[in-house]
Amino acid sequence: DAGVTQSPTHLIKTRGQQVTLRCSPKSGHDTVSWYQQALGQGPQFIFQYYEEEERQRGNFPDRFSGHQFPNYSSELNVNALWLGDSALYLCASSSYTGELFFGEGSRLTVL
């Protein structure tokens, strides 16, 4: 049984561009959360999706948006990229059994 899978693992963008990151949750998990982890820092909560709706949001601007599909997979979109968006983006999936699993992350570099 695959765990949480994220793609791409690494990518490089330039300022002003847009990026889409993808996450497939662990089988049986219905809630997907996204976190941003800058170098040398702890992860920060971006938002959480359940039943295809954004349920909670952290302190991130509207440039950060997301989507959850009927199969529970999720996308994170970031528009108008700037240098400060360079980070490891972690996806975590969870279920009512109390499990929470993280993917290995997508490392974004903005030049």
Partner 1 sequence: AQKITQTQPGMFVQEKEAVTLDCTYDTSDQSYGLFWYKQPSSGEMIFLIYQGSYDEQNATEGRYSLNFQKARKSANLVISASQLGDSAMYFCAMRSPNAGGTSYGKLTFGQGTILTVHP
Identified binder of partner 1 from the candidate list 21, 35, 66, 85, rule CB under 8 A: 35
CB 18 within 8 A of CB 85: no
The rounded distance, in Å, linking the Cα atoms of 24 and 62 is 23
The rounded distance, in Å, linking the Cα atoms of 22 and 106 is 9
Of the two residues 44 and 79, which places its CB atom closer to partner 1 in the complex? 44
Total number of residues binding partner 1 (CB under 8 A)? Answer: 31
Please state the closest distance from residue 81 (CB atom) to partner 1, in A.
20
The rounded distance, in Å, linking the Cα atoms of 49 and 42 is 21
CB 19 within 8 A of CB 13: yes
Would you count residue 98 as binding partner 1 (CB under 8 A)? yes
Contact residues: partner 1, CB under 8 A: 29-31, 33, 35, 40-45, 48, 50-51, 53, 55-56, 58, 88, 90, 92, 94-96, 98, 100, 102-105, 107
